[in-house]
Structure 1
Amino acid sequence: IELELLADSRDLDLSRREADVALRLAPYTQPGVVARRLARVGFGVYASADYLDRHGRPDFAAGAPGQYTVLPSDELRQAPEMQWFAARTHAARPGLRCNRRQAALAAIEAGMGIGCLARYLGDGRGLVRLDAGPPPPARALWYGVHEDIRHTARIRALAAALAEGFAAAAMRLDPPD
């Protein structure tokens, strides 16, 4: 079985065969695509202890004045968790904008600012998860496949493996508070 994995922040069009299978944090609206909800992904606001020593804890009620934020690129800023984060940090200054979640994680770990990350990225890495009021909205992780190939052996095997893996990781993806 040959598989190719592409990690891209843009939505590939399954109906135009840009990919056989895709995972995304938004429901599929493309014709001819069969979708399945695989998991729930929780989010949190994080900073390094070093950053907090230098800048203090953010006052989210006031929009986090005097703080620096690590923000995603334009196409990811419309995500529900990033709009939630922007509303709580409107008085902060952008410290870094980046187009990859791993780059944002590295910047937050390096003390460049506070940022909103998926819990599976931020928890257990020595970062401080900050209380910014009501938690950010969680999002569903969707699996999509073109309806013409969903019954092929390799696609069924991949779908089963993904469902099993995400079920096993559920507590890490969206841990209870």
Structure 2
Amino acid sequence: MDWNDLRYFLAVARTGSLTQASSDLRVSQSTVGRRVIELEKAIGMTLFQRHPTGYFLTDDGREVLRHAELVEDRVMALELGVAGRDDKPAGTVRLATSENLATDLVIPALPAFRERYPGICLEIITSTVTAELGRREADIALRVVRPTRGNLKVRRVGHMTYSVYGSRDYLARHPCIEGEPLGGRHFITWDDSHGFMPAAAWLMREHPRCKVALVTSSLPTQIAAVRAGLGLAVIPDFLVAKEDFIRVVPPEQMFSAEVWLVTHADLAASARVRAVADFIAEHMVGADPCLSVF
């Protein structure tokens, strides 16, 4: 049995889609479909029910999934162990972070990083969903939500402050009610799937009955909505320096979120991973006065 066939099987089993699996694996749909069929022939089982809406595991498929994940865990452990033994800062490092941390902190510092480490190719994955470092979805993660599971090395590198902001035009059209800075005004909020985000949790806790103008799944769209004059939003202070926004609720009445740098424990000794982690801590998190470094 070819381990690569199991990789294709796992991708389809987890996504239920040839299209998404091919995108994740960076191969064609036909390749994914062919490798799954080859695996089914090799073990003499039908692993999926093919349907126009997706691929669904059969009972045999669920049993094979359980064993395939055990094999995957052992292969990943081997790869992590080997990757962690490199002693030269060269190669590819995958960094998982949010879009705003990437565009406003990481990328502006990359010219200096490239000068120092020309042999390292940094691959940035932007998402609010926590990457699975144990499955090599990323080598390093820079997050405002601390991971709670996995064989990880977690380093607190700072914290960021938040405020409630509105555009100058919106606030002029919706003057505050005396003693109620949020009264009569609408919010741009996170969708339910992002309720774990610090800003979403604060709004739900402090203003559960606020009027909602727009629900989004990303911070850039929230900032764009504030810029368009749709309402108020909870935004990290360092992101509004170039915006004509007015602070409605100051950070001392809000909260701050810790910034965590996370690596898999088996990669902590890797020269290339350590170089990226140290550079992020040194040059990026402390690059703005609204971000404090520990």
TM-score (norm 1): 0.86
Q: Is the 8 A contact 2:145 2:258 kept in 1?
A: yes
Which amino acid in 2 is paired with 1:48? S
Question: 1:127 maps to what in 2?
Answer: 245
How far residue 105 of structure 1 moved from its aligned partner, in angstroms, is 0.6
> Closer, same or farther in 2 for the Cα pair 1:21/1:92, shift >3 Å?
same
Q: Whose relative contact order is higher, 1 or 2, with alpha carbons under 8 Å and at least 6 apart?
A: 1
Q: Give yes or no for the alignment of 1:18 onto 2:151.
A: no
Stretch deviating more after TM superposition (114-123 or 83-92): 83-92
Q: Give yes or no for the alignment of 1:164 onto 2:282.
A: yes
The 3-state SS of whatever aligns with 1:39 is strand
How far residue 61 of structure 1 moved from its aligned partner, in angstroms, is 4.5
Question: 1:112 maps to what in 2?
Answer: 230
Which amino acid in 2 is paired with 1:26? V
Stretch deviating more after TM superposition (124-133 or 42-51): 124-133
Instruction: Please give the residue correspondences for 1:19-168 in structure 2 after superposition, counting only pairs within 5 Å.
Output: 19-57=138-176, 61=180, 64-131=182-249, 135-168=253-286
Q: Is the 8 A contact 1:39 1:141 kept in 2?
A: yes
The 3-state SS of whatever aligns with 1:145 is strand
TM-score (norm 2): 0.54
Which amino acid in 1 is paired with 2:223? L
Which amino acid in 2 is paired with 1:55? H
Query: Separation in 2 of the partners of 1:59 and 1:137?
Result: 23
CA RMSD of the aligned region, Å?
A: 2.3
Using the aligned pairs only, state the percent identity. 27
Unaligned runs of 5+ in 2: 1-119
> Closer, same or farther in 2 for the Cα pair 1:84/1:15, shift >3 Å?
same
In our comparison, the structure showing a higher alpha carbon Rg is 2
The 3-state SS of whatever aligns with 1:10 is coil
How far residue 37 of structure 1 moved from its aligned partner, in angstroms, is 0.6
How far residue 91 of structure 1 moved from its aligned partner, in angstroms, is 4.3
Which amino acid in 2 is paired with 1:140? E
Question: 2:42 maps to what in 1?
Answer: none
Query: Separation in 2 of the partners of 1:11 and 1:37?
Result: 16
Question: 2:40 maps to what in 1?
Answer: none
The 3-state SS of whatever aligns with 1:168 is coil
Q: Is the 8 A contact 2:163 2:251 kept in 1?
A: no
Q: Is the 8 A contact 1:44 1:122 kept in 2?
A: no
How far residue 107 of structure 1 moved from its aligned partner, in angstroms, is 0.6
How far residue 7 of structure 1 moved from its aligned partner, in angstroms, is 0.5
Query: Separation in 1 of the partners of 2:258 and 2:125?
Result: 20
> Closer, same or farther in 2 for the Cα pair 1:138/1:165, shift >3 Å?
same
How far residue 164 of structure 1 moved from its aligned partner, in angstroms, is 0.8
Query: Separation in 1 of the partners of 2:234 and 2:277?
Result: 29
Query: Separation in 2 of the partners of 1:138 and 1:3?
Result: 28
Which amino acid in 2 is paired with 1:101? L
